[in-house]
Structure 1
């Protein structure tokens, strides 16, 4: 029996209403979700007319232009740089960029207004060891000129300067192309998460907030719905123009403008947002040697001061007596402590994200009464004090300091005209999730000297031996600066901030013994930082943004020439959001993170953004004892770090084993191992509940430090499985090496 028409009509009404609800909810979700973090126009491809081609010797390099461009060197197996047959190696475009800033996570979209793709070579001049090529580019807006200068740089490096030449306004995007072999992988370009091989990706080089979650679902979806702040694999604090391929060759960018690398096809295409750009080409016997050649123009960072090798840099906060009590727990458990890092020395503020700081870089003696006595007491025990600063100033923090009778740095900077302003001439106050803050204009020499002196007077003047130099990813692109626009200075901003902090160390008399560690960085300033850290990881195990992301980013930064890299032991970000499970570290995660950090240049803990809601190293004797074993192992590896860095500043960088040992098999199989030099390999446990780990060892004979068992093969890689209970990470040292003797003595002492 068929239902009556009225019932059918009701059913259709219900279906229609449900459909409308679904459409509205979907539309609301799509409206709330942010656009992609990076949406760049495809690089323009074109053809080459090599009319004035030929062959030239430029230092140790041979340059040939006929059906394309080919550069060779005796040290390289195959071309160092080549282009596809008939393809243009230089093209140009005029871009139109739009930006959206989600609390520091700058989103970029770019469209081409015009392109110049047809390249002709009309002149070539060899002057000594400098080759100048020039010609014309044809495109949507007629013809423009181009020039390429190739000159011997270091012994195995060719420096390449490209320039667009016009009578009027120049195109704003310059592109340089290199062919890649079918199976050739590409590595580096900064603190990139995800796969070590970047082929298939478009990699933007612009320092910005890396985001929370970075593709870890459903967390990233929830974060984007709440704050548009999830980020992804294309967002990072640390960028670098240095890279290396599986053929141990490299085409690197040597400048400080917004740039990107397109690896989505069969070529490596550099995009630089300027009418001129400097590159360098290199090849060597091993990937690490190629990176050392490339990073030479920036200078790999020197190691941190010797005292950092004596123990952990322990992140504590809460006030004078709280620090004393927590330090007593740590020392009672046997944690060697080199320094205490008191980030809340300026005062505490509470936001929806968790515990934050007062951004006025002056001591808050109401929070830390008897500060001078605390510093003297710790110094007597051989423990240094470290603090915190960043490139922002908050008006309300300054006003609160003024009420206490202290300096109001925001007011001082405003009166002196040292703050970043917008097009309307007003100071730009940026949202910081619960408060606002203004940036010091780092393009102004006067402003740089003022803030450096303020840091020296207030931070170092409080007895600190160093500090975290946070933020400084860059100004708003439309900011009006003393030195130009925010867009022009966005990529180079970390360079300026590192220079400011070096100057502050100098003014404070801490140039030799002080420690400053930075979050933002660029390859043009890699030599300016004592240490860099990998940013604000989640307090979880995820490969996207948690503990398992740390080896991936260390692999990438080492391939970028960034030497002194480490992470917050235990991670930084914990969350309590609707729908998704809470995120916050437990004792196991803290322990495993400590084990994964023993090869770093410093061993530094962080209480995190919600310290009361997660496990802390000083929370109990048990957690402190677990951290103590990792901290002591870090100290035991200090002599090996010293030997490596004495040979080369990049020598002790935590890297993929392939960087030193080479070989396709090791490159493909050693996914999460960390190496330090040629004689140390660590395979950290990266999953909860595991007490053993699979390890891929480079060729050679390797000693498992805890058992003394020897593994490995002289002629190839070896795959082994070893026990890795908490407190005994899977650490291997080369048989017969100095570090093998030192770790054997360490294990014997640990076991009494």
Structure 2
């Protein structure tokens, strides 16, 4: 959200007040509190009719500094709040004539006591970023209400990443980003997974600790700062130091939650019925057996929406006309060595028998007059499970538990973005504006916790679409509804790289694209990309994704890359163990692995799979791909090409047929050893 009209003026309808100077500082032992009036105090009379901004510094963990900016401190705390893990440290607070310093581990905030407002955030003495005279603002916006904003300085050449899943440019500089979950596909500024955390190339991160709408202006309103603003009277944010990007993600996920361990089977190939296609037991088994007959290893079979009857989503009952013996079918899939996943969402259609049951028990979201909130968007007359209610969560989990009794192993937790904000009342009194983004956290946690309880830790797996900060605790997440084009494949990759820069350890996407049917060549290119992602799923909207429906070469390509992923499984599992331990994503942008290499800072068409594999998917029809290899010796994993970049990184342009792509391993690394390649 922008408040100014250029550098000098304020926008019409906006009044803006900023701290003018530090008036006094309180050292409260574990807290530093700074009082800053919005004008200079030169006489006693100046203390009258003068608003003051209070800025409070605390240390929730070592190397993390939490900052709270308040105008009116008496306003009620709004729910929900992010579930952040604290390990409070005793900060070091010092003061001299010129400054007050608040130190948490190697990170410190230095507050200037004289002159204009100035706070420098330093890591081992080096300035990472600063809050300056025009940074903090308390704004009254006509017809909307109050907002609080902060601007943290951007250094020369500094680049910003993250803010959840974003399908535009990987580097966020110059962008306006609204943290607001929406079902908008992969070709707009909207996103399913919005995370108010960004990562800087200078080696720090910033989390805005607000579950509601947060507006970011990244070098846009002020081209030398990242601005973030929230509605209300207070703004909380945390500066996470410092060092390499992976060290910052380590500290951030220690605070917001680590990705858990995942079972080996989840890394294999998932096959779906697709969305609106016709399918029954005969179709399902023909697909599964067809993959086996062609030597394509399969790990999971997924039943999408129409395992239930149309107009009944969700009643969690198998369509008896299509699946008269679901337990028998699931048993047949298990006998074939497969796990079973089914699609769910948190909406209860009016025709579902669960609607009346949930309404009577108070488990569905209510309007201000006590009625059940309903809409016809998606399913006719549907209501929404009130995930703020412990009783509703238990009720919802109980319905899913019956599916686990049938033998289901995992759930695709779809939707969670279309959450109303007007005229509704949540059971726990949550602010509807803040519940909009946070709903997905409660939804996915209910399902994940049930799976952990029933299947055991290390066996719980979701396939989730929506998320917010901390959602990495409930993996896996996939990229949402993309078109079947090369452009959409690149969009999806950018979204994934942005998401994992925000603390998410795993990511997947619909191989072949969701909307439409890819041509055979595009399908084969996407197969290679998909099977070199952390998780791999074949899925579409109105057409099937089994390879023999494209051509026989697609069968060969899928077999080759599925077998390649199986061969690499020990390497992937080791990378996953690192993810669980440190938060480092299995798929990661080049800049996370090589932050010292300036060439890596803008790359968004290739990535690292673990720490030793460069993957550059073919994203254009002619098979050409540009690959950047950082300093070192590299070997193409499939054709054995050796590239000596010991003297510095190298850009290559290569053209590959559909059986290959840009895929280079560090010389002497585990992937080469697993394939019996050269050292």
Number of the residue aligned with 2:557: 626
Alignment partner of 1:711: what SS? strand
**Deviation (angstroms), 1:135:** 3.1
| Aligned counterparts of 2:459 and 2:414: Cα–Cα separation in 1 | 20
Spell out the pairing of 1:224-263 with structure 2 (5 A cutoff). 232-233=188-189, 235-263=190-218
Alignment partner of 2:463: what SS? strand
CA RMSD of aligned residues (A): 2.9
Paired residue for 2:291, among 293, 317, 330?
330
**Deviation (angstroms), 1:624:** 3.3
Change (3 A) 1:270 1:680: same
Spell out the pairing of 1:305-344 with structure 2 (5 A cutoff). 305-309=263-267, 311-316=268-273, 318-344=279-305
Alignment partner of 1:675: what SS? strand
Change (3 A) 1:506 1:562: closer
Task: Please say if residues 474 and 489 of structure 1, whose CA atoms lie closer than 8 Å, have aligned partners that are also in contact.
Answer: no
Report Cα offsets for 1:399-450 as digits up to 9, x if no partner.
Answer: xxxxxxxxx2222111112112223432222233574421111122211121
Question: Residue 280 in 1 paired to residue 224 in 2?
Answer: no
Task: Please say if residues 682 and 730 of structure 1, whose CA atoms lie closer than 8 Å, have aligned partners that are also in contact.
Answer: yes
Q: Which has the larger radius of gyration?
A: 1
Change (3 A) 1:682 1:506: closer
Spell out the pairing of 1:398-437 with structure 2 (5 A cutoff). 398=352, 408-433=353-378, 435-437=380-382
Number of the residue aligned with 2:484: 539
Change (3 A) 1:330 1:43: farther
Question: Residue 588 in 1 paired to residue 521 in 2?
Answer: yes
Change (3 A) 1:344 1:617: farther
| Aligned counterparts of 1:426 and 1:164: Cα–Cα separation in 2 | 36
Task: Please say if residues 528 and 661 of structure 2, whose CA atoms lie closer than 8 Å, have aligned partners that are also in contact.
Answer: yes
| Aligned counterparts of 1:517 and 1:276: Cα–Cα separation in 2 | 35
**Deviation (angstroms), 1:504:** 2.5
Task: Please say if residues 205 and 242 of structure 2, whose CA atoms lie closer than 8 Å, have aligned partners that are also in contact.
Answer: no
Task: Please say if residues 702 and 712 of structure 1, whose CA atoms lie closer than 8 Å, have aligned partners that are also in contact.
Answer: yes
| Aligned counterparts of 1:616 and 1:737: Cα–Cα separation in 2 | 33
**Deviation (angstroms), 1:722:** 3.2
Question: Residue 666 in 1 paired to residue 599 in 2?
Answer: yes
Number of the residue aligned with 1:738: 670
Number of the residue aligned with 2:406: 462
| Aligned counterparts of 2:395 and 2:476: Cα–Cα separation in 1 | 23
Number of the residue aligned with 2:657: 725
**Deviation (angstroms), 1:695:** 0.8
Alignment partner of 1:159: what SS? strand
**Deviation (angstroms), 1:453:** 1.7
| Aligned counterparts of 1:726 and 1:550: Cα–Cα separation in 2 | 20
Number of the residue aligned with 2:134: none
Number of the residue aligned with 2:257: 299
| Aligned counterparts of 1:138 and 1:477: Cα–Cα separation in 2 | 37
Spell out the pairing of 1:482-501 with structure 2 (5 A cutoff). 482=427, 483-501=429-447
Alignment partner of 1:566: what SS? coil
Alignment partner of 1:147: what SS? strand
**Deviation (angstroms), 1:181:** 1.6
**Deviation (angstroms), 1:568:** 1.3
Normalization by structure 2: what TM-score? 0.81
Spell out the pairing of 1:62-77 with structure 2 (5 A cutoff). none
Alignment partner of 1:667: what SS? helix
Task: Please say if residues 259 and 579 of structure 2, whose CA atoms lie closer than 8 Å, have aligned partners that are also in contact.
Answer: no
Alignment partner of 1:323: what SS? helix
Number of the residue aligned with 2:116: none
Q: Which runs of 5+ in 1 are unaligned?
A: 1-39, 48-92, 94-109, 215-231, 350-355, 399-407, 575-583, 748-752
Number of the residue aligned with 1:51: none
Paired residue for 1:705, among 637, 643, 647?
637
Number of the residue aligned with 1:192: 166
Change (3 A) 1:702 1:664: closer
Change (3 A) 1:254 1:519: same
Question: Residue 573 in 1 paired to residue 515 in 2?
Answer: yes
**Segment of structure 1 superposing worse, 125-134 or 439-448:** 125-134
Report Cα offsets for 1:1-55 as digits up to 9, x if no partner.
Answer: xxxxxxxxxxxxxxxxxxxxxxxxxxxxxxxxxxxxxxx44369999xxxxxxxx
| Aligned counterparts of 2:542 and 2:305: Cα–Cα separation in 1 | 13
Paired residue for 1:124, among 1, 22, 25?
25
Number of the residue aligned with 1:156: 63
| Aligned counterparts of 1:187 and 1:511: Cα–Cα separation in 2 | 32
| Aligned counterparts of 1:727 and 1:335: Cα–Cα separation in 2 | 15
**Deviation (angstroms), 1:363:** 1.9
Task: Please say if residues 159 and 601 of structure 2, whose CA atoms lie closer than 8 Å, have aligned partners that are also in contact.
Answer: no
| Aligned counterparts of 2:345 and 2:17: Cα–Cα separation in 1 | 42
| Aligned counterparts of 1:186 and 1:703: Cα–Cα separation in 2 | 31
**Deviation (angstroms), 1:743:** 3.1
**Deviation (angstroms), 1:474:** 4.7
Change (3 A) 1:117 1:127: closer
**Deviation (angstroms), 1:292:** 2.3
Normalization by structure 1: what TM-score? 0.73
Report Cα offsets for 1:345-374 as digits up to 9, x if no partner.
Answer: 63354xxxxxx9843222223211222222
Change (3 A) 1:628 1:662: same
Question: Residue 517 in 1 paired to residue 517 in 2?
Answer: no
Task: Please say if residues 651 and 676 of structure 1, whose CA atoms lie closer than 8 Å, have aligned partners that are also in contact.
Answer: no
Task: Please say if residues 145 and 164 of structure 1, whose CA atoms lie closer than 8 Å, have aligned partners that are also in contact.
Answer: yes
Alignment partner of 1:429: what SS? coil
Question: Residue 443 in 1 paired to residue 443 in 2?
Answer: no
Task: Please say if residues 297 and 562 of structure 2, whose CA atoms lie closer than 8 Å, have aligned partners that are also in contact.
Answer: yes
Paired residue for 2:317, among 362, 366, 369?
362
**Deviation (angstroms), 1:736:** 0.6
Alignment partner of 1:388: what SS? strand
Number of the residue aligned with 2:83: none
